[in-house]
Structure 1
Amino acid sequence: MPDSLVGRMKRAVAAGNYDDPQEFVRTAIENQIQIEEEEISQEVKSLDEALNSVDPESEIEAAPEGTQPDDSTHEQAQERQSDDAPPADRTNETTLSLARRQYDDIPTVAPPDESRLDKGPLWGQYNRIFPVKLVVRGLANALLDSSEEGLPDGPWLDLQPFQRRAARTARKIGTEIATHDERAGRKRGEKLAAALPTGDDPDKSMDRFETHFIGRVEHDDELTGALPHLSFVDIVRESPQQIGLTDAGQEFASLSNPLLDDGVDADTSLSQEEQEFYISHVRGVREEEYTAMQKVAQAIEEGDNRPTSLTERVAYLNPEWSNSQAETIRSGLTSRMYELGLVDRSQVGQRGIAYELTAAGETFRSNDTESTQPQ
């Protein structure tokens, strides 16, 4: 390793983000393996970029305020600074009920204030919607159980115990879904278990799931995680942190889901009703995400249907994004739009891919075109 990289690695360790150089190298290797195994090859920083992100002497500027980080390094560092208790032994944790029930009487909370959320489209690592569905269903059932048992929690549950149960549940069902992915011969990018914590290291895999798809309150009172950024939950800094379900989260939890309600051998991760609800919901509460989806559909329709050219089109959404940030956003958008049935993928050559609009995607695009026509 060049001396310059060794020095920067030492500074990263000294900054408190890693216990020792061995942990830094181990984390870098694990991230690279994740890159190879999942469809995020253009979402995660290189080792050099990761070093720059924590090197105060680096000439590379930090991401502008309001933009998203390029990988999980930022959130991993924040997790280490959390005032929550250290992770407990997971072996005896129970799982959540995912059965569909009646949720009309669940107490709900208001959505998080927008000032606590990142601006722009969703971060690229929030690359699937089914994990979000799984967590809101589990949260709805946990709240219902708490209410029926007469516990004094009201609309809130302690965050950390819920996170751990949700991650354990996601790993259990994810392993079952992954088995059916293999039997069905699904390729990378098509697997229904994508983004669920099925990695070889259970604790790290579940920690990553908790960070990406549930979230937490940081020291500046800002929120991380897909659930609050979609206004399906709010998380508050009590002692300990607590999580509550919003009206939108309650409604999403109540919708029937193929994998949760029909069986893990289902052919799709979201029902048409869920897809339509999600698109409508995002249009109302996350306008920048909806606009980005429109731009992706337009670019594909106009022939920019390969990752590189599509990234260039996505980059126009925010001139302050680096190329790596634009790649992150593009990859997350196309993954979510694939799950929503708006785009499909085809292989080009040995490893290349191209995107095309599905019939639903063409309708989505035509509706957008019609809505922008002068009256």
Structure 2
Amino acid sequence: MKLLLVLPNSIFNKIQQLIESGKYASSSDFFIAAVENQLLLETTLSKGTDVVLPDTDTITSEKTREDIVKRFVLKPGKELIKTVATPLPEQLLYPGSDSENDLFLWGQINRIFPMKVGLRILANLLAEKNEQYIELDEFTEKAVELAKLVRSRLMAETLQITGKKDSLWSGLPSEDSDKSASRYKMQFLAYLRKDGIIEGGLGRLKFVNLKREENRKTHIGITEKGLEFCVLENPILDAGVYNSGSLSEEGRQFYLRHISSEVPGETRAFVDVLSLLKEGKNSQSSLNRELRKIWPKNWSGAVINTQRNGTVSRLAELSLMEKIKNGIEVEYRISKTGIDFLAKGTK
């Protein structure tokens, strides 16, 4: 079958550039790929069908990638989502622990934005299925694939805008690394231990809850606080703004209010580090030395270093402190926002 297609010169010129660069053998090859990708998208995302994410290796159209990303990471309608109960202390406390003040986020959870992406994906999947819970494996697999697309888009956009690499995509899985995918699932998202303890950033922050059914399959749902954080505007995901940080001011303030009332271990870590910064302990070594005196005695030097690194990275993302490079050394400085938070957190 032959079709006559009228294209604007701007689009035609871009197609010609792709053909000349060797990405497509001819205009026919380009249009066949474009049509196949659009048909795949329509089949995948049509209403009334299960949400099936195509293998990212088969996606050749950048527009298709962009459409899929938008479909699952844009702000969902809050009224479409059924929330679940907040995790109980017994779902979070480790054997031998009796206080949530001792529950630190694992240090390799060094960013909040990857968890925001995960919440958006979870909320949109729940809305699509009109369910309160979905299978954890289904969520984490789709979250990894979609987060890879978000990372690719961020890398391309920030490189084009700033001319240099940025850290906005730090923590999101890369398309060529199974290790980063596993890290994203286990550290930034959530999983359920054999003893029923919830692990992973979203769970430890009480943004999601997990339960194990009689068939031994684990299911995940979003809590009220998780949904509130999820639907807050995000400069990257909602506005395509890449030079104002990974969270909006409203998002940063919500996170701080949330941990102050619901996640005492995270509040404790923030207060401990900010207090030392205010005292002038501004280097990695001086912070590690002082934190070892006040953090759990059974933590090794390597664990202290990991925990300190994760904490200062989250503090910097929240604009509570800044990192200043001085040659090969890094100096930390508390910000005015950090001083204000410290004043509230120590009352």
Instruction: Verify the 8 A CA contact 2:154 2:169 in the aligned structure 1.
Output: yes
1:97 corresponds to 2:75: no
* Residues 1:177 and 2:154 are matched in the alignment: yes
2:168 maps to 192
What letter corresponds to residue 255 of structure 2 in structure 1?
Y
Q: TM-score, length-normalised on structure 1?
A: 0.68
Q: Is the contact between residue 267 and residue 345 of structure 2 (CA under 8 Å) also seen in structure 1?
A: no
Candidates 125, 132, 138, aligned match of 2:108:
125
Q: Report the RMSD for the aligned CA atoms in angstroms.
A: 2.2
- Point out the more displaced range, 211-220 or 163-172: 211-220
Find the partner of 2:132 among 152, 155, 173: 155
Counterpart position of 1:321: 299
Q: How many percent identity over aligned positions?
A: 32
| Residues 1:200 and 1:115: Cα distance change in structure 2 (over 3 Å) | same
1:233 to 178, 183, 208: 208
Shift of 1:323: 1.4
Q: Which is helix-richer, 1 or 2? A: 2
Unaligned runs of 5+ in 2: 1-53, 60-67, 95-101
Taking the aligned partners of 1:101 and 1:254, their CA distance within structure 2 comes to: 7
Distance 1:269 1:89 in 2: 27
Structure 2 residue matching 1:346: 3-state secondary structure: strand
Alignment of 1:223-302 (within 5 A): 223-238=198-213, 239=215, 240-263=217-240, 265-302=242-279
SS at match of 2:245: coil
**Is 1:305–2:301 an aligned residue pair?**
no
Q: CA deviation at 1:263?
A: 1.0
Q: Show the counterpart of 1:27.
A: none
Q: Which residue of 2 aligns with 1:207?
A: 182
Q: Does residue 333 of the first structure (1) align with residue 294 of the second (2)? A: no
The number of aligned residues is 273
The CA distance in 2 between the partners of 1:163 and 1:181, in whole Å, is 26
* 1:346-361 matched pairs, under 5 angstroms: 346-349=324-327, 351-361=328-338
Deviation string for 1:15-58 (max 9, x for gaps)?
xxxxxxxxxxxxxxxxxxxxxxxxxxxxxxxxxxxxxxxxxxxx
Q: Which amino acid aligns with 2:211?
A: V
- Deviation per CA, 1:38-85: give whole Å up to 9, x if none: xxxxxxxxxxxxxxxxxxxxxxxxxxxxxxxxxxxxxxxxxxxxxxxx
State the secondary structure of the residue aligned to 2:111: coil
Native 8 Å contact 1:181 1:191 kept in 2:
no
Cα displacement (A) at 1:253: 0.8
Is 1:111 matched up with 2:86? yes
- Judge conservation of contact 1:297–1:357 (CA < 8 Å) in 2: yes
2:125 aligned residue = 142
Partner of 1:49: none
Runs of 4+ displaced beyond 4 Å = 88-96
Partner of 2:44: none
Higher radius of gyration, 1 or 2: 2
| 1:302-331 Cα distance to aligned partner (Å, 9 max, x none) | 110111111222221222222111111111
Letter in 2 for 1:360: T
